[in-house]
Amino acid sequence: MTGLSESKASEKFYIPQDVLESDEFQKSLNMYMSNNRKIAKMSIILDVNPYSREAMTIVERVKQEVQAFIKSDELNAKVAIDGKTSQNVDLDC
């Protein structure tokens, strides 16, 4: 992990170079990222009824947390949240 201390990424997240280049890691990238590696997909499964007010509150909080994170990050990222609960949040506004 000698690269960790030299990497600015260690302030947030660090993956050793040999892991990044492994076949197993590449398979996981293929599952959660677009071919050009500019779009990442994250699945969040709630442990509450997706049609409930509680689920809507959770999704609203996730949206707020993600927006706060990307505003403070240098990635210049755009985020979209989808799913039945997110659709209900949008309709409730």
How is the chain split among helix, strand and coil, in percent rounded to 5? Answer: 55, 0, 45
Cα 38 from Cα 15, distance rounded (Å): 18
Cα 25 from Cα 41, distance rounded (Å): 15
* Residue count (the chain): 93
Task: Note the pLDDT tens digit of each residue in 44-83.
Answer: 999 999 999 999 999 999 999 988 888 876 777 888 899 9
Q: Residue 40's beta-bridge partner residues?
A: 33
pLDDT for the residue 3: 55
Tokens of 26: 């590449």
pLDDT for the residue 5: 57
Single pTM value for the model: 0.66
Q: Which residue has the higher pLDDT, 2 or 14?
A: 14
Q: How many CB atoms lie within 10 A of CB 55?
A: 20
Q: Which residue has the higher pLDDT, 11 or 88?
A: 88
pLDDT for the residue 11: 65
